[in-house]
Structure 1
Amino acid sequence: MIYEIYHLTYEYREGVRALDDINLKISEEPLLILGHNGAGKTTLLKILAFLLKPKEGKLIFKGKDVNKISKVELLNLRREVSYIPQRVTVFNGSLYEDIEYGLRIRGIKDSSERIKGALKEVGLEGLESRRAKELSGGQTRKLAIARALAIDPDVFLFDEPTSELDSYELLERVIFKKVKEGKKIIIATTDLSFAKRLKFRAILLAKGKVIKYLDTFDSL
């Protein structure tokens, strides 16, 4: 198992639970996290990315109890995961510099080919020198995906990845390529048309609880 979750609870403030007693085992196969806005999808992704700490419960990643490891070990685990948020923040510099920063803080050197390859894969080749803040919404989404591709982690966590994209084809191509490479893909989405095209195993969240497990989305 990649992740094992036992009785996990998260509160944004006292008495307001975003996740409530989640029990879940996540294997190597890709997974969809479905649910309406406010269901707890983003919170769960951030916990899986080690960006939020649960109030209660146990999170195990590749056999390691995350509550029992050192800060250095936690930092190393974060480097195995890339979280692609719904709301993307870009730097003031160029696309090249934006991606290079993420590689540099992970100690990845000789990054030029990685960066150019990632930009080409999302259709932004030749724009390395463009200021990131000048991009359209769809281009910014592609830049966020390129960041993750350049890092090439074991686990990709996508939060509403179709937001502001004008077609599914590029995103599907990236996702299926990474699945073929043996990467773990977890996607939180409200886009049921996109989910139906992927036909991945799925869970359905509502009010912070897992209310249904699906072998594929088509079985809903």
Structure 2
Amino acid sequence: MNENEERLMDFNEDVINKLYDTAIAIRNENHDNPNNKTLFSSVDQGMATVEAAMHIAYILTELKDKVLVVNLDSSSTEKIESYIHSKAKPNLFTTLSTSMFLSEAIQHSKYEKLDIIHVEDMAEEELMKQFSQYNVLSKLSPLKSYYNHIFLIGPEFQSMENYGPILELADSAVTVISSKKNDRHELNHYLQKINLFNVKSFGILRKAD
């Protein structure tokens, strides 16, 4: 049994089935819409968001698809690295400061079909300034030529005053919540924000507490 299969044992059967169903839904969407980029995010469940994104990415690599994970949440870097063991250094904007091509920031994981880009650790104000300066969307879109799927891991919604630049990068979204501890008002606010940016929702994944 490999490491990711062992991790899946921590999920109950219903959640595992939901992860698989979501993986297939994303796969079908990307077959019909090759430019689709999927955002994994939450109001306040950052670690559960990483777990969901990385398990779904793993499922897709098992189906022989190539996946690029673009981690836009610097607080999740260590958690993601515990899954993929790439020893990747955060280099998204460092790369764009010297190159027009985001492809130069891509780093390989221990899995043949799973690659990673991490954002550097910076305050929100500086992060927004970098998004504006480098037009990340225009740099991200060409990478779909090399990958079947691009996953974006977003920061927790509650941690940012301006989530718009994150949503502007995405075409679809998977939202992760706690099955018991979630603020319905804040969740509805976030889901309304997704709709405002015309981001297609693949639904909500509930993390068992």
Please classify the TM superposition score into its range, dividing by the shorter chain length: 0.3 to 0.5
Structure 1-normalised TM-score?
Answer: 0.43
TM-score by length of 2: 0.45
Kindly indicate which of the two structures has a greater share of residues assigned to strand: 1
Higher relative contact order (CA 8 A, sep 6+): 2
